[in-house]
Amino acid sequence: MSIELKAKKSKNIKNISLSVLAISIIVISGWLFNIRPILTVIPGVPPMEFSTALSFFLSSLGVLAAQRKSTLFLILNRATISGVLIIALVTIGQYFFDFNFSIDTLFINNTYATAFPGKMSLAAAICFFLLGISIWGMYSKSEKINAIIELVFLAIILVNAAAVIIFILNIIGNDAGFLLLIPIHSSLILFWFSSILSHKNADKAFNDLLFSNYIGSKLMRTSGHFVFTLIMVQGLVLLYLINYDIVDVNAGIIVYSIVAIFLSMSNIFTVAIRLNNAEQEKVKYENALHASIQETKQYKEALDASSLVDITDANGTIISVNDKFCETSNYERNELIGKTHQIINSGHHSKEFFTDLWGQIKKGEIWA
């Protein structure tokens, strides 16, 4: 991994961690000081639970601590992530054992919920448990552990992506089940937080896809947003039409399929055109390069035919000579390479002559 890419990924992780930290502090402040506008920022959506905000706070703090290479910050990392794991496990235990351990109401009085006040959803608790494990091991030097961590991050990303899509498309009822329990604000933060963290140990191909300026990466970054947005908008429109009995379900599915095919083909055509343009540019540059190489070759042939040419390194050691140089010096090429010009010094020129010669060459000037 290049130093530049490593620095960019580290900066991205730091920025997302600081953002999550700031959001969690705002929500925690809202609970501690009962600032309702903060807690009800999204109308119709339950507020982010105090335990959820605290888990985000500890997770982001743990990531920031892990980026600092010292024993003190390592201890802070382990302590904060342990806190996340404890909150997640206790919350999961409350669901499975149907018992209130009161961990969620140690610091605040939740007036928004009646059953187990302050308890985050089961889906969110499981995601935080997985997130805690991932952060704990994401700086491991073991390739096997890193591979497992990548899979865990992927699981968190997929679950929360599905939760976001369900919310956007307004899928309600038992069919949404487990995923609908993650509030939109929590699922969005979990999605982006896990997505950025997962990049740390990603392989080169994945890093190139996300961060490079190759044409494929650019197309993926632009087309991905385009396709996702269109699908979401199309789904919302379809649900609206069905809910208000403007079209029936069967007709809606047919229309959705036709539009999806049309949009997909349009996107494919756009990508194909851009790839063709890139290929044409590549051919043009290759032809120009070939012509330049041929011209350079002709110059070299003319120079070799008329001049003695040798190439040395910065220490004056000969690394290449042309045929005319060998012919004039009466040395074979293998006898000259690796030697200095002392081997052909006739003694005719003074020491100052060679000092001036090398002075000009080392300055990048031409000596002839």
Cβ count within 10 A of residue 345: 10
The total of other beta-carbon atoms located within 10 Å of residue 193's CB is 26
pLDDT of the residue at 115: 45
Sketch out the chain's domains with CATH numbers. 11-211 (no CATH), 212-306 (no CATH), 310-363 (3.30.450.20)
45-61 mean pLDDT: 88
Please answer whether residues 88 and 128 qualify as being in contact, where contact means their C-beta atoms are separated by less than 8 angstroms.
Answer: yes
Q: Given a cut of 90, is residue 104 above it in pLDDT?
A: no
Q: For residue 34, give both structure tokens.
A: 């009962």
What confidence score (pLDDT) does residue 81 get? 95
| pLDDT, mean over the chain | 79
Tally of CB atoms within 10 A around 302: 10
**Proportion of the chain above pLDDT 90, given as a percent:** 17
Residue-wise pLDDT for 291-331, tens only, equals: 899 888 888 888 888 888 888 887 778 888 888 888 887 88
Residues 321 and 344: their CA atoms lie apart, in Å, by: 13
Q: Which backbone phi and psi does 312 adopt, to 5 degrees?
A: -125, 165
Contact, 201 vs 150, CB < 8 A?
A: yes
Half-sphere exposure of 231 (CA within 13 A, CB side): 11
In angstroms, the CA 352 to CA 274 distance is 61
What is the pLDDT, as a whole number, of residue 229? 75
Average pLDDT, stretch 4-23?
Answer: 87
**pLDDT confidence of residue 1:** 52
> Model-level pTM?
0.62
pLDDT in tens, 132-188: 999 998 877 788 888 888 889 989 998 888 887 777 666 544 445 555 567 788 888
Beta bridge partners of 312: 318
pLDDT at 61: 95
Largest CA distance in the chain: 104
The pLDDT of residue 181? 65
Answer yes or no: is pLDDT of 66 > 70.
yes
CA–CA separation, 87 and 69 (whole Å): 26
pLDDT the model gives residue 25:
94
Res 325: pLDDT: 82
Chain Cα centroid distance, residue 296: 42
- How much is the average pLDDT of 197-206? 70
The DSSP element (H or E) to which 199 belongs, if any, is: none
- How many Å apart are CA 332 and CA 319, to the nearest integer? 13
Cα separation of 341 and 321, whole Å? 12
Residue percentage of the chain with pLDDT more than 70: 79
Cα 6 to chain centroid distance, Å, stands at 10
Helices (H), 199-248: 204-211, 215-243
The answer to whether the beta carbons of residues 89 and 143 sit under 8 Å apart is no
Per the structure block, which two tokens stand in for 185? 């604000």
Tell me the C-alpha to C-alpha distance, in Å, between residue 342 and each of 123, 308, 324, 349, 361: 79, 16, 18, 12, 17
CA distance 219 to 10: 24
